[in-house]
Structure 1
């Protein structure tokens, strides 16, 4: 199988590696540069080193922002403002001397799960990333659904009531902010602390945790019955908690008991990949987008 350089661009660091014999090797990271010239220099150095050690046929990049694969432009906004709103993919190909594919980071993580993670063996899945906000990806027939405005998978925008979005109510970060404000004891609480307090019987923490679970379960129910996926895969830090899926299933069962015509429980799974997800997904995307560059990852 042909070698690929894979790069995961983040707000503070850029991870990289080479996919060689279907294994990630030569992994490393560098700080994210402050300007476009530094960005080009950092990525080009990564590719040149890979060329010295291997024989890569292309470069797959996981990036923040709304990647328009037709125009080569990263639309929207991110923590790296200088990469947006011009044809960056052709410029990178000039610097690298290799074909480049680029995909949004959440979509890359979903593609990794589809290829060889929690979604292996499926064709259709929803990937929900639970963090400061709620993001994710929609995959149908093995393909990412970007949508007309490249907002496919932006689940956090869904309204859960007259004014609160899923990102407002289904994020452990915002749950902790609400608890901190209501508790008003001079301390600052994070999501982990609020969940722990709820388990110990703190009434206010239990109330905020219920808001979190109900919002997330409602969103999963609505999305599941809209898309009818093979699986709903949950990612983000809180997804690793062993109590998350059992608790969400209890809340989903409450919804199913209320909505009598709904005949099945959504199948939930925890994301398999964590730190390597975007690198693996960037390789999957390259081989989907640039099939001349190599075989499909299995």
Structure 2
């Protein structure tokens, strides 16, 4: 089975070819300003390939309603929402089309082929500019009553801020920049921490604690056996160990250390959305 796969983001659209369980020819183009321009860009990708495709698999922002065949909610790519997008794409390209939420796609990739392939109940947490996620019960994607299952970025702490607002490396780096009147990114913040900068050390430590606090809430509410971490920070070699130690301490404090999950960083990183979109096409919604 040969598929063309697309991952629609706010600034770029990634694409590739999925064949025989292998993703290849990965590239990207700037996200077009209109739906019509998006169709033309998709067509150009298809035309430039020498493959004959069996279908189109898409990862996209928003709440994807499979029954209505629409993308609900809002995102930076406003023109993909609240329209009969499945039917429009299938009519334009003459191919079957599947679409699923981007975080759900990344979770599907990790559950089916990545670090979650041997687990039953999994929480997938994507930590980037904001925080997203996906939940799997007995290896099936749980989308909830309002298609909001796994939206862990909206978890609130006692200071009324959400996980997305105060628990990411981007936010920590921005705060450092504001306090020092400089401009640093996440990688530079870690370098400052490793060189003994006290503010950087404090901010990274606080970030880890906020992450652990939110993982605690996920664990006692959902009780997965495995938490998978995605997003850019998941490439940090110490991340899983840091959060394992901090979550373990919190569970022990409440006398429920026996529910401690395994915590692992994801396998596929930037390719997860594309791979998950292809797998979603392959299984035709049976993972839902």
How high is the TM-score relative to the length of structure 2?
0.91
Residue 225 of structure 1 deviates from its aligned partner by: 2.5
Partner of 1:41: 40
Distance in 1 of aligned mates of 2:35 and 2:62: 15
Residue 45 of structure 1 deviates from its aligned partner by: 3.3
Contact 1:48 1:96 in 2 (8 A): no
Structure 2 alignment gaps of length 5 or more: none
Q: Are 1:163 and 2:160 matched, yes or no?
A: yes
Selected match of 2:171 from 145, 169, 174: 174
Matches within 5 A, 1:1-298: 2-49=1-48, 53-181=50-178, 183=179, 185-289=180-284
Residue 206 of structure 1 deviates from its aligned partner by: 2.6
Residue 290 of structure 1 deviates from its aligned partner by: 5.9
How high is the TM-score relative to the length of structure 1?
0.89
Contact 1:169 1:211 in 2 (8 A): no
Pair 180,88 (structure 1): closer, same or farther in 2 beyond 3 Å? same
CA deviation map 1:189-247 (0-9, x unaligned): 32233333333333322322222111111111221232222311101111111111222
Moved more, 41-50 or 138-147: 41-50
Pair 278,261 (structure 1): closer, same or farther in 2 beyond 3 Å? closer
Residue 90 of structure 1 deviates from its aligned partner by: 0.8
Q: Which contiguous aligned blocks of 4+ residues in structure 1 show a shift greater than 6 angstroms?
A: none
Pair 253,21 (structure 1): closer, same or farther in 2 beyond 3 Å? closer
Residue 144 of structure 1 deviates from its aligned partner by: 1.7
Pair 290,190 (structure 1): closer, same or farther in 2 beyond 3 Å? closer
Residue 110 of structure 1 deviates from its aligned partner by: 0.8
Distance in 1 of aligned mates of 2:13 and 2:92: 17
Matched pairs, number: 287
RMSD in angstroms over aligned alpha carbons? 2.0
Contact 2:223 2:259 in 1 (8 A): no
